[in-house]
Structure 1
């Protein structure tokens, strides 16, 4: 034993290798190149890594690389589908003939909140609903009666989820009536948007929009109602009345975000002074201005604004079948409106994006299709995982680390 001890003392001592400590900016640079799924897993490594994954610096760096790198952009883009539930679809798989499209079901706020109709159906007996007459009605008759109402045998248990807009990985959704959330489908983080104060909350019909104020680094929800424009600021976490809405009360669809503004089709005036325009609300300056509409558009009631490949669009939205729409090839320049005629007809259409092969991905009357703008051919897309029969609405989003809870009041 003594001999072994002496030999150990004579041998060189191996120093423990030190793990190099990389500068913070190098770590952020490396992590910003990784997919969201991996980054979310890294949160479980340690408290330090959890803090790092929640750092707005990493979220901004990751987002910037996603937007500037075509490969990252393609890998991290998703199609969001709403049909009594929320689903996501990989953008990179769209347009490949040899690959089936599979939608993944998402978790989101108020997902399991049962709707009132489903609760009513649950109380039905023998496939029918029996309702007692009121006490006043019973007093008028000598004998109380039961009213039998034939109801559908199958009712979806969940509310419809309205998609009001998407920007930088955050989606504004309404999973229940008059309830708004900012939701990141990639990280599953969400924030309930407070209701507007009762002193200026718009009564009756109102429409919304959602987008990013680049100058002030702020995400804003815009609500139009009662002749006013109301703005919710995520950074302030509060609502404000910012200006009047100087147009007719015939705006029904959510606005679309483009070039730092939210856009709706709108109209004002009477007779010879009647004008149909694209109303553009600047999220930075919080003022509203007119953009020229196509000359053929004579009423905003039947048209909506859209966006395709970074260009503003005007599309038909109701009442009858149409086979055309307009694209503004240079933003703000009315003379650049270009009419596109399609080889299919639609009642309602929403442009989503250009797919990998250059075809336009469109939502047409509750279905997805790819349209080749060069040869006027198209094909409908079958998506596994989405129940058939109810139709759906769709939007797109990017997989990012942007957190709806990462903004604080100044």
Structure 2
């Protein structure tokens, strides 16, 4: 059949075809026509269908977003990771200095000047400014925060904690909650918490932080008005002097201990239910020199089959992905295939980092 005589597809067929494509292809196809551009970048129904299709096919890809001073996205699943800088994509950001506060559903929460919040989709370049809190100013002392999504209500929510003062000039800790559905902030008071982590880890619509008292505090984003924090204990025998404790999310909550004083290693526990922990694995770094594995202040991300973290290698940092071995023991010399390193000179961002899914959704 001659190409000029090919029958045209009904308009309703195009979204069904396009929602089966990966994000990279969809971004390219925004240049095909105005209708494609509008459908792919501006239609929330299409974005949800594309996300659901990708999740059903288990084809959602994860990237690591780093900023500031420059915003860069690192593809953690490309074969190029560890071999060249092609795993790193530079992103355009309309601001000089942004700080990452969390990610959910492909959307990243960023803050400017400690009080101006934006939702950002790094995959599409979409930005949305949140309304300012009442009385917000650059002098606000933000303590910790978090970000999540409630699918049943189609509502993105932001939690941020600040120091405030009573009429008697007493210092108190207040929590603020933003709802994208209501487009408003609510403020509530609660007892001061000695939270050690700044960014909340999202699991099952609940944000988690660890404290200096070997506890985890949790905030359920689905709460309405009568806001409360709940607490649970960290695994026993977790702390040794000099060890670094971090939380990591996913389908379940993980606690990561990076031990550096004796035998360098990473221990990971998974929460099976609140207050109940199971040790998931232990990664021992036996490749010489042992001082190679001195951990930096970067975060650790635990995923289904690998973990990503930063190490100090003599005179520079490297971003490292380790594929989980079946026996839980990592030896750099014996099994170098477990290691994929992206040298720090290939990454031009030295600030915070967030793991996010590469998808079309928007707030």
Query: Smaller-chain TM-score range?
Result: 0.7 to 0.9
Match of 2:10 in 1: 21
C-alpha RMSD of matched pairs (Å)? 3.6
Contact 1:303/1:314 (CA < 8 Å) preserved in 2? no
Give the deviation of 1:265 after TM superposition. Answer: 0.8
CA distance in 2 between partners of 1:399 and 1:82 (Å):
17
Any conservation in 2 of the 1:261–1:283 contact (CA below 8 Å)?
yes
Residue 332 and residue 28 in structure 1: after superposition, are their counterparts in 2 closer, same or farther (change >3 A)? farther
Q: In the alignment, what sits opposite 1:34? A: 21
Note closer, same or farther for the CA distance 1:31–1:18 as it changes in structure 2 (3 Å cut): closer
Q: 31-40 or 80-89: which moved more?
A: 31-40
Aligned equivalent of 2:330: 376
| Partners of 1:77 and 1:90 within 8 A in 2 | yes
Query: Could you tell me whether the CA contact under 8 Å between 1:256 and 1:307 is conserved in 2?
Result: yes
Task: Return the alpha-carbon distance in structure 2 between the equivalents of residues 403 and 199 of structure 1.
Answer: 25
1:87 to 67, 72, 77: 72
The 1:315–1:349 alpha-carbon spacing in structure 2 relative to 1, beyond 3 Å, is farther
Contact 1:102/1:384 (8 A) holds in 2: no
Deviates more, 1:333-342 or 1:391-400: 333-342
TM-score between both structures, scaled by the size of structure 2: 0.75
Summarize deviations over 1:336-364 as a string: whole Å, max 9, x none.
25573542442535222548xx4322234
Q: Note closer, same or farther for the CA distance 1:337–1:60 as it changes in structure 2 (3 Å cut).
A: same
Deviations 1:177-228 (A, max 9, x none): 4332111111111012232111899942421111111221111111012322
Given the two structures, how large is their TM-score scaled by the length of structure 1?
0.67
Matched residue SS, 1:52: helix
| Uncovered stretches (5+) of structure 2, i.e. residues with no partner | 164-172, 286-292, 333-338
* Cα distance per residue 1:221-256 (max 9 Å; x no partner): 110123222111122222112x44434344451111
Name the structure 1 match of 2:169. Answer: none
- Alpha-carbon contact 1:165-1:173 (below 8 Å) kept: yes
Q: Distance in 2 between matches of 1:288 and 1:191?
A: 28
CA distance in structure 2 between the partners assigned to 1:362 and 1:345 by the alignment: 11
Following the alignment from structure 2 to structure 1, what is the Cα–Cα distance between the partners of residues 29 and 350? 37
Deviations 1:289-329 (A, max 9, x none): 22331123579x98654225534233469998974444225
Inter-partner Cα distance in structure 1 for 2:186 and 2:92: 31
Contact in 2 for aligned 1:109/1:190 (Cα 8 Å): no
Count of matched residue positions in the alignment of Structure 1 and Structure 2? 323
1:209 matched to 2:209? The reply is no
Which position in structure 2 is the counterpart of 1:396?
355
Q: 1:330 to 1:212 in 2, by over 3 A?
A: same
Cα gap change, 1:52/1:256 in structure 2, threshold over 3 Å: closer, same or farther? same
SS in 2 for 1:67: helix
What is the aligned partner in structure 2 of residue 235 from structure 1? 181
Q: What are the equivalent positions in structure 2 for 1:70-219 lying under 5 Å apart? A: 70=58, 72-73=59-60, 76-93=61-78, 101-110=86-95, 113=96, 159=97, 161-198=98-135, 203-219=140-156
8 Å contact kept, 2:296–2:310 = no
Q: Summarize the Cα distance change of 1:350–1:59 in structure 2 as closer, same or farther, 3 Å threshold.
A: same
5+ residue gaps, structure 1, are 1-15, 114-158, 268-274, 405-410
CA 1:347/1:293 → structure 2, altered by over 3 Å: closer, same or farther? Answer: same
Q: Distance in 2 between matches of 1:213 and 1:163?
A: 20
Q: Which residue of 2 aligns with 1:408?
A: none
Distance 1:348 1:98 in 2: 24
User: Is residue 202 of structure 2 the alignment partner of residue 257 of structure 1?
Assistant: yes
What do the CA deviations read for 1:14-50 (whole angstroms, capped 9, x no partner)? xx8863425x3x4332111113343334445555434
Q: Indicate if the aligned counterparts of 2:306 and 2:323 stay in contact, CA closer than 8 A.
A: yes
Structure with the bigger percentage of helix: 1
Distance 1:348 1:315, change over 3 A: farther
Deviation at 1:81, TM superposition (A): 1.8
